[in-house]
Amino acid sequence: MLAKFIHFITRTENRISVSSSVLAIISGLLFGLIIMIITNPLESIPAFFTIIFSGFTDIGRVLEIATPIILTGLSVGFAFKTGLFNIGAAGQLMVGAIAAIYVGVEWTFLPSSIHWLIALLAAGVAGAFWGAIPGFLKAYRNVHEVVATIMMNYIGLYFVSYMVEYRLYDLENARSLTVKESAIIPYYGLDKLFGRGDVNFGFIISLISVLIIFIILSKTTFGYQLKAVGYNKDASKYAGINEKNGIVLAMVISGLLAGLAGATIFLTGVSGRHLETTEVLVSEGFDGIPVALIGLSHPFGILFSALFIGLLEQGGFYMQGFNFAPEIIDIITSSIIYFSALVILFKGFIVKLYKKNNMKDVKG
């Protein structure tokens, strides 16, 4: 596996896109630094280094933040590979979350050893269903998936708000009921291993998902067909691939991943996070977009960029102490994405650098 990974990195073509991504990250960070210097010069430098380095002392927290966004990043990235832009991860996540909470609260007849697992699966199924609708509309009704997934976000949001308010309401705390003890995702000692933070088996689930998606995309005919649909819909149809089924299936898998993300956030105890009736989409759903874009939609890239964004967001927690709004993190990530859209600029620069180095080698 590692050898494969190293081989991947060392192929020149991949090396160029990875290094242009790294350049985009550096440019985004510098842009953020400039904004910070302009708004508050005195505290800007220490605050900036806090953003970058504070996460290393809080690995547990970083992994806790990264767990759901690895999954939503995979969700968005997987759809990208099929040529679909799934902005609906947020809605799929919330619908998944409410399904998990419903099973976790109501299905007490389940044996306690598998209760959490069934709740997790319910989240995946609900998310998959929520993804299937825009997939179906795209494949058979030609509805643009960006518009359809956004509409599904809002429909899901209000559905979840209804479910919380009328079916699963914890009146005392004005939020969703806490799931039964047996439905909480187990820790298996991970929380102790990584110190502060709430790392549970969900993190392992997200790592397994990375591997599975990697295998699907690069080792199976199915994955190859999906990618072919993404590259050229008409050509793949000509080659005998059922491109309509491909689109629906890609959205189903994409929704499933986002649904699982919902379960990893909300299958927790009393002190964990709960759904509220405030009618705001859960932000981890949208975080999947930058994660996938920075990770170049490659499963390993997504893992890396989710950890990177986890690191930045953990740093963002300390920004109040420096009189900076934590939104500086979002400014940094959005500018990284903008810079990564300017691949041509960076690629040209890197290719020039390569040629220069190679020339040196020849001369030397």
Partner 1 sequence: MEVFYFILQQMMYFSIPLLVVALGGMFSERSGIVNIALEGIMLIGAFVGVVTIYLVQDRLSASLYASISHGQLVLIYGLITAGMTGALFSVFHAYASVNMKADQVISGTALNLFAPAAAIFLARSFAFTNYTQQVSFNRRQFLIKKIPILGDIPFIGDILFQKAFITTFIGLLILIIASILVYKTRFGLRLRSCGEHPQASDAAGINVHKIRYIGVIISGFLGGVGGLVLIVSTQTEFNATVSGYGFLALAVLIFGQWQPKKILQASLFFGLMKTIASSYSSIPFLQILNFPSQFYKMIPFIATLVVLAFTSVSVQGPKAAGEIYDVGKR
Which H/E stretch holds residue 176? strand 175-176
- CA nearest 323: which of 42, 26, 99, 33? 42
Least Å distance between CB 66 and partner 1? Answer: 18
Pairing of β 175-176 and β 169-170: antiparallel
Least Å distance between CB 252 and partner 1? Answer: 18
DSSP string, 235-274: HHHHTT--HHHHHHHHHHHHHHHHHHHHHHHHS--TTS--
Choose which of 70, 90, 265, 293 interacts with partner 1 (CB under 8 A).
Answer: 293
47, two tokens: 């605050």
Q: Counting contacts by CB under 8 A, is residue 39 touching partner 1?
A: yes
- Give the separation between CA 112 and CA 118, rounded to whole angstroms: 10
Q: Counting contacts by CB under 8 A, is residue 327 touching partner 1?
A: yes
| DSSP class of 334 | H
Q: Counting contacts by CB under 8 A, is residue 344 touching partner 1?
A: yes
Q: Counting contacts by CB under 8 A, is residue 334 touching partner 1?
A: yes
Give me Rg for the CA atoms of the chain: 21
275, two tokens: 């759904």
Choose which of 4, 7, 11, 144 interacts with partner 1 (CB under 8 A).
Answer: 144
The nearer residue to partner 1, 31 or 224, going by C-beta atoms, is 31
Q: Counting contacts by CB under 8 A, is residue 129 touching partner 1?
A: no
Q: Counting contacts by CB under 8 A, is residue 152 touching partner 1?
A: yes
Which H/E stretch holds residue 187? none
Least Å distance between CB 39 and partner 1? Answer: 6
Q: Counting contacts by CB under 8 A, is residue 305 touching partner 1?
A: no
Q: Counting contacts by CB under 8 A, is residue 21 touching partner 1?
A: no
Helix (H, G, I), strand (E, B) or coil at 154: helix
The label of the residue with tokens 């949001």 reads 157
Q: What number of chain residues touch partner 1 (CB under 8 A)?
A: 47
- CB–CB of 307/25 below 8 Å? no
22, two tokens: 């790294």
The nearer residue to partner 1, 228 or 291, going by C-beta atoms, is 291
Q: Give the distance between the most distant pair of CA atoms in the chain.
A: 76
Least Å distance between CB 165 and partner 1? Answer: 7
Per CB under 8 A, contacts with partner 1 among 193-222 are: none
- Give the separation between CA 166 and CA 107, rounded to whole angstroms: 17
Q: Which segment (56-64, 149-157, 217-225, 302-310) binds partner 1 by CB under 8 A?
A: 149-157
Choose which of 109, 113, 141, 240 interacts with partner 1 (CB under 8 A).
Answer: 141
The nearer residue to partner 1, 146 or 216, going by C-beta atoms, is 146
81-100 mask for partner 1 (x: CB under 8 A)? ----x---------------
Q: Counting contacts by CB under 8 A, is residue 20 touching partner 1?
A: no
Choose which of 16, 30, 216, 343 interacts with partner 1 (CB under 8 A).
Answer: 343
- Give the separation between CA 305 and CA 70, rounded to whole angstroms: 8
263, two tokens: 């379960």
Least Å distance between CB 80 and partner 1? Answer: 10
- CA nearest 347: which of 11, 9, 18? 18
Binding residues vs partner 1 (CB under 8 A):
35, 39-40, 85, 133, 137, 141-144, 146-148, 150-155, 158-159, 161-162, 165-166, 279, 286, 289-290, 293, 325, 327-331, 333-335, 337-338, 340-345
